[in-house]
Structure 1
Amino acid sequence: MRDEAMRDEAKPAVRRGTGATADPVKALLHRHRTLCERAVDPLEIAAGLEAHGITDRTAARFRHRDVFSLAEELYARVPHGGEAADGAAAGEACAQTPVRPARKTGTRRLTGWMILTLLPGAMASLTLAGLEHSTGQRHLALGLAGSLAFTGTLAACLRRGPLRAEGRTAPAAGLWVHWLLAYLVCGDGLLDALVTGGPDGPWPATTTPLTALAWAVAPAAWCAHLFSVRCRRRLAESHGLADFTAGARPLLLALVALYAAAVTALATAADLVFDEDGAPAATVALGTLFLLARLLTVHGFPRAAATGLAAASAAEALACASVLAGRLPGCDLLAVPVTHAVQAWGPASVPALACGAAALGLLVHAAVALSRASAHT
Structure 2
Amino acid sequence: MRGPNRYYRCLGYREEPEVMELTRPPARPSYLHRVLQIVERELEGMGLTFFVTWKLDVLPAYGNHVVAIVMGDEWSQIPAYVDRVLVTFKCYGIYPQLAARPLRKPSRLNTLLLLRHLRVLAHWLPGALRYSGRLLQGWLRGKSLPPIYDLPLGYGNQQALPVLPIEERPIDVFFAGSVAQGFPRRFWSPYRWFPSPKRLARLRMLQVLETLQQRDPDLQIFVHTNARFVLNALEYGLTKPGEVLDTEAYSQTLMRSKICLAPRGTSADTFRLFEGLRYGCVVISDRLPRRWFYREAPVIQIDDWQELHTLIPALLRNTQRMRQLQQEALRWWQTVASEEAIGRWMARCIRRRLSEISTASSEAVPV
TM-score scaled by structure 2? 0.25
Which one has the largest radius of gyration? 1
